[in-house]
Amino acid sequence: MDYIFNFLLSVMAGIAGYYICKWLDRNHKDS
């Protein structure tokens, strides 16, 4: 069970990082 949680956590972290990078990039272009 623990390895499933760790896997989901890493997937969520990757997705979150991807969208944060896109959001920061968009904000940087706006200014």
In a domain, 7, yes or no: yes
| pLDDT of res. 23 | 93
| pLDDT of res. 20 | 96
The structure tokens listed for 31 are 């200014």
Amino acid at 13: A
| pLDDT of res. 31 | 59
In a domain, 6, yes or no: yes
Q: For residue 7, what are the domain limits?
A: 1-25
| pLDDT of res. 17 | 97
pTM attached to this predicted model? 0.61
Q: Phi first, then psi: give them for residue 16, nearest 5 degrees.
A: -60, -45
In a domain, 31, yes or no: no
Task: Give the chain's end-to-end CA distance (angstroms, integer).
Answer: 45
Which residues of the chain fall short of a pLDDT of 50? none
Number of domains observed in the structure of the chain: 1
Distance between CA 18 and CA 12 in Å, rounded?
10
